Amino acid sequence: MDSIATVTPPLPWYRRLNQNKGLLLALVSMAQMLDVINVGSVIIILPDILREVGYKVDELQWVTSAYALAYGAFLLIGGRFGDLFGHRRIYILGVTWFSIWAVVNGFAKDPILLSVGRAFQGMGAGFTVPSALAILTTSYPVGPERTNALAIFGGTGAIGSIIGVLLGGILGSTIGWRWIFYITAIVGFAIAILGVIIIPSHLNHSKVKDRRIDYVGVVSFTLGVVAIIYYLSEGASAGWKAASTLAPLIVGLVLLVVFVVVELKIDYPIMPFHIWRSRRLVASCVTIIMVSAAFNGMLFFATLTMENVLGYTALHTSLAYIVHGVGAIVAIVALTKAIVFVRTKILIIVGWLFLIACYIVWAQIKADSSYWKIPFPALILSFLGLAPIWLCCQVNSVADANDEDQGVVGGVYNVCQQIGAPIGIAISNIIANTRNSPTAVGVELLPGYHSAFYTVAIIGGIGLVLTIILASNTDPVKLSEDSTTTKTDDMDIDTEIGSRSTEALDETDKTETVLGSEIGKTEAFSAISTDEKTLA
């Protein structure tokens, strides 16, 4: 009897989309870019929001601060929830939540509603970013393919910072500022729908066996981080010893102590403390706090200098930072090649030297300085220094993490980055205010601004020393395309050498994502108080 061959009919076109990794890369990169655009574009339209929504000048900062606070507070939770319940699921939920509140913000006519909406948008971004990283690292094999994919993904953050300021200026001056939120919502919902189709369903699976949620840890950590970031952000304007700022600081510290005690005792912590046995993670977190403090302090006063001394408009100032975004993209590509041949500790040290030089150049600015004489070369030095530090810190921070801890380690690292920014701005602002009188304007502001730039240079010097002391003298892996062997570290990164090599190399590629995203975000956030000062 003749056998009958069974022919499997081809899948419908929409069922084959999740087999196309190029579409997956484009989808996740669009979400990354959307997040950064949402920051930069909103800063440009702050004057319009002030006029139409009814904010007071000293309250306007909450349009951006609420987003930043929530984003920083939910990074750890978003990363851990992705580990527990699947990064595909958390990613889609995060983008959807982000988009829902974009619609609310577009219709908001009340300052409280808009501020709350921005906070919930930041919460959505905090859930989306860690899962986006995990989706890419689990979808692309180790080697050139993954490196190139994540370089593209990382570059979208820098591109987003450029598009954000341009989009804010164009829409704000034409069809209206509310369309920034409407467009954000439309694109976000489209990404969520496509995510259901394109992101493979196996990414909903988790390797964590105990999926119980540490509710006490979630609440204490979230509220504690929000309270401390609030103190660091508001202390300069409200007063460091004022009850309105001291009370949140005390509450935040108490909550973080509660968080540590709970995490040490509970069997299913939101942040497993065994991750801190990695010297590389400790060194990377310390370094990224320092570099974020110095870099954001520089951006804060560079923006003030360009607008209050050189006379730039807010849009002109934003355009001046384009060189930084473009340079970051080029640096990402170059560093993925350089890291194969040069130890990460050396690259970080070189990066610090570039950054310190950048801050010293800014300190030489005068009222008649042209853009090409001081700001342009300073920004060149900035991205040349910033790129290798962020790249290498991200590589080392996650190199020793197990698969089930990748999300939480990435979240911890990004929380450190978020905390560093207000610390740097606060310290440099205190120093500047000791040199400038409250009534100083124009060129009279330069003495304080110069002192601020020298202050961030000192912060950079401290960061350089800490890097030399804390950073490991060996890399987690030989960062070459054909290597799967682990180098010996000077701490106890116990067994599983082969698997750790793969994990570490995976995380090397993950770095570019954070680099592009954070460059875009820090550039955008740097203009916040400048707009407020101009409006005042």
58 or 55: which carries more pLDDT confidence? 55
Band of pLDDT at residue 521, cut at 50, 70 and 90: low
Domain for residue 189, yes or no?
yes
Domain for residue 232, yes or no?
no
Band of pLDDT at residue 478, cut at 50, 70 and 90: very low
Domain for residue 342, yes or no?
yes
155 or 466: which carries more pLDDT confidence? 466
Report d(CA 508, CA 391) in Å as an integer. Answer: 8
Q: List pLDDT tens digits, range 383-398.
A: 899 888 887 887 777 7
What is the 8-class DSSP label of residue 308? I
Question: What is residue 290's predicted lDDT score, i.e. its pLDDT?
Answer: 94
For the whole model, what pTM was predicted?
Answer: 0.75
Mean pLDDT within 177-206: 86
Identify the weakest region by mean pLDDT among 175-189, 364-378, 420-434: 420-434
Q: How far is CA 420 from CA 259, 389, 453, in A?
A: 20, 14, 16
Band of pLDDT at residue 8, cut at 50, 70 and 90: low
Domain for residue 139, yes or no?
yes
In the chain, the percentage of residues whose pLDDT exceeds 70 is 79
Question: What is residue 15's predicted lDDT score, i.e. its pLDDT?
Answer: 52
In the chain, the percentage of residues whose pLDDT exceeds 90 is 25
H helices of 108-214, in order, are 111-139, 144-173, 178-198
Q: List pLDDT tens digits, range 151-179.
A: 677 667 667 777 777 787 778 778 888 99
Band of pLDDT at residue 486, cut at 50, 70 and 90: very low
Residue type (1 letter), 373? K
Question: What is residue 210's predicted lDDT score, i.e. its pLDDT?
Answer: 64
Band of pLDDT at residue 488, cut at 50, 70 and 90: very low
Band of pLDDT at residue 286, cut at 50, 70 and 90: very high
Domain count along the chain: 1
Q: What is the mean pLDDT of the chain?
A: 78
Q: How far is CA 269 from CA 225, 264, 288, 499, 500, in A?
A: 17, 8, 24, 24, 23
Identify the weakest region by mean pLDDT among 171-180, 337-346, 435-444, 509-518: 509-518
Residue 93 confidence (pLDDT) above 90: yes
Band of pLDDT at residue 457, cut at 50, 70 and 90: very high
174 or 9: which carries more pLDDT confidence? 174
Angle between helices 111-139 and 46-53 (to 10 degrees): 140
Domain CATH for 387: 1.20.1250.20
Domain for residue 225, yes or no?
no
Question: What is residue 151's predicted lDDT score, i.e. its pLDDT?
Answer: 65
* Highest averaged pLDDT of the listed ranges 53-67, 111-125, 199-213: 111-125
Residue 139 confidence (pLDDT) above 60: yes
Identify the weakest region by mean pLDDT among 146-160, 361-375, 444-458, 489-503: 489-503
Question: What is residue 482's predicted lDDT score, i.e. its pLDDT?
Answer: 45
Question: What is residue 152's predicted lDDT score, i.e. its pLDDT?
Answer: 72
Question: What is residue 363's predicted lDDT score, i.e. its pLDDT?
Answer: 95
Q: What is the 3-state secondary structure (H, E, C) of 39-105?
A: HHHHHHCHHHHHHHHCCCHHHCCHHHHHHHHHHHHHHHHHHHHHHHHCHHHHHHHHHHHHHHHHHHH
Domain for residue 245, yes or no?
no
Torsions phi, psi for 450 (to 5 deg): -60, -45
Question: What is residue 468's predicted lDDT score, i.e. its pLDDT?
Answer: 94
Residue 231 confidence (pLDDT) above 50: yes
Mean pLDDT within 234-240: 71
Identify the weakest region by mean pLDDT among 3-12, 198-207, 271-280: 3-12
Band of pLDDT at residue 525, cut at 50, 70 and 90: very low
Identify the weakest region by mean pLDDT among 24-38, 143-157, 275-289, 351-365: 143-157
Domain for residue 92, yes or no?
yes
Domain for residue 143, yes or no?
yes
485 or 268: which carries more pLDDT confidence? 268
The tokens for 339 are 């890291």
Question: What is residue 148's predicted lDDT score, i.e. its pLDDT?
Answer: 66
Among the listed residues 452, 438, 421, 455, the one whose alpha carbon sits nearest the alpha carbon of residue 533: 438
3-state secondary structure of 208: coil
Residue 399 confidence (pLDDT) above 50: yes
Domain range for 450 is: 13-213+270-535
Residue 51 confidence (pLDDT) above 90: no
Q: List pLDDT tens digits, range 297-309.
A: 898 888 889 888 9
Report d(CA 28, CA 152) in Å as an integer. Answer: 11
Question: What is residue 105's predicted lDDT score, i.e. its pLDDT?
Answer: 92
What residue has token string 């729908």? 193
Task: Judge residue 439's burial from the number of C-beta atoms within 10 Å of its C-beta, 0-12 exposed, 13-18 middle, 19 or more buried.
Answer: exposed
Mean pLDDT within 405-417: 78
Question: What is residue 253's predicted lDDT score, i.e. its pLDDT?
Answer: 93
